[in-house]
Amino acid sequence: MATDIPDTDRVTSAQQEVIEQRVRQIVAKALELDVDEVQLSSSLVDELGAESLDLLDIAFMLERAFKIEFPRIDILERAAGHFGEESLVVDGVVTDFGLALLRRGMPEIASERLQAGTRDVDVMRMITVQSFVRIVTRLLEAKEQFPRTCPVCGAMMEESDIMPEFVCPACGTIQPLPSGDEILLQDLIALADDRNGSSQ
């Protein structure tokens, strides 16, 4: 299904509605639910009954629908490689820094749910349909910002029909899109830098 995303780096409200509806449809299909049962605020685990394999299924279906490479769903796992696990979680409890990162990186979660004592295993239970919409929207925006000029011959590259990449019709050069992990990790690093800057 076409996503109707424009040639700008921001998604308009009309395109946002298309993304939201498509994500809801995919979640409903993966979990064998009626679309009306899948609301943006629905917790995938607690309200919709999704298990780990279901979340992977949904991510795979979103990749195919939007031609993106979905990141690891667990934001703490994604961030640990850069910030170090010990700065995010200690003895299974999310640190103050980890909580600040979650609040900024997952704005769809009510801040009162991210308080001292939050356990890392509880974060996955907070993921909502809106979390997936946010990730898809961000990756589509990143796709629109991706350079379209072939670095080899200068021709305009075209998006692949099946892979998250651009192909030059003139010389055949293939330029893969950055992975979802790469894009969202850079966003987290920027959020952490902003937080550090504002706290000084």
pLDDT > 70: percent of the chain: 92
**Which tens digit of pLDDT belongs to each residue from 91-141?**
999 999 999 999 999 999 988 899 999 999 999 999 999 999 999 999 999
Residue pair 83/73 in contact (Cβ under 8 Å)? The answer is: no
Residue pair 89/95 in contact (Cβ under 8 Å)? The answer is: yes
pLDDT, residue 111, reads: 86
pLDDT at 6 exceeding the cut of 50: no
pTM above threshold 0.75: yes
DSSP output for 94-121: E-HHHHHHHHHH-TTS-GGGS-TT-BHH
pLDDT, residue 197, reads: 58
Cα–Cα distance measured from residue 180 to residue 71, given in angstroms and rounded to the nearest whole number: 4
pLDDT at 199 exceeding the cut of 90: no
